[in-house]
Structure 1
Amino acid sequence: MKTLFRQVALIGKYHAVAGGAAAAGNRAALEDIAQFLAGEGCDVAIEHDTATTSGITGYPVLDVPGIGAKCDLGLVVGGDGTMLGIGRQLARFGVPLIGINQGRLGFITDIPLDRYRQVLSPMLRGEHEEDRRSLIDSCVMRDGECVFKALAMNDVVVNRGATSGMVELRVEVDGHFVANQRADGLIVATPTGSTAYSLSAGGPLLHPANPTWVLVPIAPHTLSNRPIVLPDSGEIAIELVAGRDASANFDMQSLASLLHGDRILVRRSEHQARFLHPRGWTYYDTLRKKLHWNEGGS
């Protein structure tokens, strides 16, 4: 049976230093996977930054818009950080992504590198499960103007400065005042991000099929300030009332320094990331493996 995905883009770790051991290992893995894909009947292209970092030649090189226009599938080789980065960029093109993990099992890169051949082959023939993930559109409003925009798949985090005390944040949902919170910060997380910073701050796990966000205070001054699950159909506004050196982080990769009176607006993006998993995959399998449920004890 022939592959359903004729044009496949390979995306690797962006931060592997050229000439280093990590880059060499990344290149070897990518070259092996590219040869495998060609053998499966796929036309392989290398994402531009991946080609630059790895030094792989002999394949067409495409930037993100080129992948969006020409490719049926993106194959991400790395970890969750690599998948988050490319997932945000490719969501608007609707290109599905498969993740091959080079290290420990990831929440969204779930195929072990040493087993990719036997797992990937049937997936290319259509034996897979599709998993769609919502994204966040955010902007920082200052004096009525948007001064910073970002897209996030995991979370938006408002943090206090490294050497300062708590921040005070005014929170509104759909224009309705919720509370003024004094804390080290505040997290707005998607279901995908519920297993990231939100989890370590005491937030709940959200199944990705839920159209929800979770609002999680970080070390709140008042212990009755608890995480709250909200529908993702509305708009959350977070205003910096007090606190020095505060910042807004979007998937911990984009940063905007905040001034008093700045408002961070959070809305659901019109785009979704599309992840493909092996046939029979469920979100519970990932949680069980990643969180080591059912291990030890009797």
Structure 2
Amino acid sequence: MPKAGIIYNDVKPVACRTAQELKDRLLASGWDVRLATGIGGILGYSSPESPVCHTPIDRLNPPGFDEDMTFAIVLGGDGTVLSAFRQVAPYGIPLLTINTGHMGFLTEAYLNQLPQAIDAVLENRYEIEERTMLAVQVVRDQTLLWEALCLNEMVIHREPLTSMCHFEVQIGHHAPVDIAADGLIVSTPTGSTAYSLSAGGPVVTPGIPVLQLVPICPHSLASRALVFSNTQPVTIFPANPNRLVMIVDGNGGCYVLPEDQVKIQRSPFPARFIRLQSPEFFHVLREKLGWGLPHIAKPTSVELP
């Protein structure tokens, strides 16, 4: 019996109701169906008093979600999608992402398109698009304190009401560089339309094997976003006396102390998206972010009496 999964946002009644309806339909079609909520992929926060506070990357999978699962369906917004990939990426499970949220930049279809989307998947009328994920680790004295997978970005920044930070950053085997800024973003191409974009980084089309380093509010005219090969690992050394805060995918993270190192590298587990038609990234940019829309002429000025 083939096996499918459903991961849903249990905070949203429409997602809960749809998950049960979808389960009933798949069961009637002869599928073994497993349900899980997106909460399992939500990252926790460590603290200076309890620095080791994480679930290993390969132990976030919900019960029954394994290599034998043909596909899984995500019902939620972008946050649920990010959580779901942390749960299933190590097992290579492709996800059909259905938007029950607001923007849904990472989702493939809207809720009113779900019946047609399920028909297409059950009839194998889809493609799989793989996207890079990052493995992020915080290490102190050779001890792993915290780790997570991320699809969008890793952000390390100062705490509120503290001064500007200094970071030493080493990319691959290149010489370390010093960056003075409020924080740093290391982003995948998928994350280039998220926080990185707001911080002035470029949009990178999916599929290009690169990462980018974006300083947040840098204290230098020469400090700009850097795009580099995703085969090169990144190590960040905090070069200031105050503790910092690290956030992954806008969700969870930990404190980073001066003696810690943050290590980032391309994960061996890609995010596998089910695409019902050939991916059209520029269409998504135009629909969700307004990129490339034609200019609208200003109205003719009219003299007031």
Tell me whether the two structures share a fold, i.e. TM-score over 0.5: yes
Residue 55 (structure 1) aligns with: none
Conservation of the 8 A alpha-carbon contact between 2:156 and 2:183: yes
Conservation of the 8 A alpha-carbon contact between 1:165 and 1:243: no
Distance in 2 between residues matched to 1:235 and 1:192, nearest whole Å? 18
Residue 34 (structure 2) aligns with: 45
SS at match of 2:159: coil
Residue 75 (structure 1) aligns with: 73
- State yes or no: 1:12 paired with 2:8: yes
- State yes or no: 1:286 paired with 2:275: no
Residue 212 (structure 1) aligns with: 210
Q: In 2 relative to 1, CA 222–194 (structure 1 residues): closer, same or farther, beyond 3 Å? A: same
Conservation of the 8 A alpha-carbon contact between 1:137 and 1:152: yes
Q: Which amino acid aligns with 2:211?
A: W
Distance in 2 between residues matched to 1:248 and 1:219, nearest whole Å? 16
Distance in 2 between residues matched to 1:190 and 1:123, nearest whole Å? 27
Give 1:90 deviation, angstroms.
Answer: 0.9
Residue 125 (structure 1) aligns with: 123
Conservation of the 8 A alpha-carbon contact between 1:166 and 1:243: no
1:90-105 matched pairs, under 5 angstroms: 90-105=88-103
Q: Deviations over 1:98-125 (max 9, x none)?
A: 0000123422212100121123312321
Residue 56 (structure 1) aligns with: none
Single out whichever of 123-132 and 225-234 deviates more from structure 2.
123-132
Q: Deviations over 1:186-220 (max 9, x none)?
A: 00001111111111101111112011101000000
SS at match of 2:239: strand
Structure 1 stretches lacking a partner, 5+ long: 17-21, 52-62
- The equivalent position to 2:87 in structure 1, one of 62, 77, 89, is 89
SS at match of 1:270: coil
Residue 57 (structure 1) aligns with: none
Distance in 1 between residues matched to 2:211 and 2:241, nearest whole Å? 25
Distance in 2 between residues matched to 1:48 and 1:29, nearest whole Å? 13
Distance in 1 between residues matched to 2:226 and 2:162, nearest whole Å? 26
Residue 138 (structure 1) aligns with: 136
Residue 179 (structure 1) aligns with: 177
Residue 262 (structure 1) aligns with: 260
Count of residue correspondences:
277
- The equivalent position to 2:164 in structure 1, one of 163, 166, 169, is 166
Q: In 2 relative to 1, CA 49–169 (structure 1 residues): closer, same or farther, beyond 3 Å? A: closer
Q: In 2 relative to 1, CA 119–170 (structure 1 residues): closer, same or farther, beyond 3 Å? A: same
Residue 25 (structure 1) aligns with: 14
Residue 274 (structure 1) aligns with: 272
Residue 296 (structure 2) aligns with: 297
Single out whichever of 230-239 and 105-114 deviates more from structure 2.
105-114
Distance in 1 between residues matched to 2:89 and 2:157, nearest whole Å? 27
Q: Deviations over 1:3-56 (max 9, x none)?
A: xx9321111015x1xxxxx3x3322222232233345543322126779xxxxx
Q: In 2 relative to 1, CA 80–246 (structure 1 residues): closer, same or farther, beyond 3 Å? A: same
Single out whichever of 24-33 and 180-189 deviates more from structure 2.
24-33
Q: In 2 relative to 1, CA 296–13 (structure 1 residues): closer, same or farther, beyond 3 Å? A: farther
Distance in 2 between residues matched to 1:157 and 1:74, nearest whole Å? 29
Q: In 2 relative to 1, CA 111–48 (structure 1 residues): closer, same or farther, beyond 3 Å? A: closer
Give 1:267 deviation, angstroms.
Answer: 1.1
Conservation of the 8 A alpha-carbon contact between 1:101 and 1:113: yes
Single out whichever of 173-182 and 36-45 deviates more from structure 2.
36-45
Distance in 2 between residues matched to 1:31 and 1:152, nearest whole Å? 28
Identity percentage over the alignment? 32
SS at match of 1:242: coil
Distance in 1 between residues matched to 2:279 and 2:23, nearest whole Å? 24
Give 1:140 deviation, angstroms.
Answer: 1.6
Conservation of the 8 A alpha-carbon contact between 2:133 and 2:151: yes
Distance in 1 between residues matched to 2:118 and 2:280, nearest whole Å? 17
Distance in 2 between residues matched to 1:243 and 1:251, nearest whole Å? 26
Conservation of the 8 A alpha-carbon contact between 2:133 and 2:266: yes
What's the RMSD between the two structures over aligned residues? 2.3
TM-score using structure 2 length: 0.83
Conservation of the 8 A alpha-carbon contact between 2:14 and 2:100: no
Distance in 2 between residues matched to 1:203 and 1:132, nearest whole Å? 22
Give 1:91 deviation, angstroms.
Answer: 0.9
Residue 54 (structure 1) aligns with: none
Residue 188 (structure 2) aligns with: 190
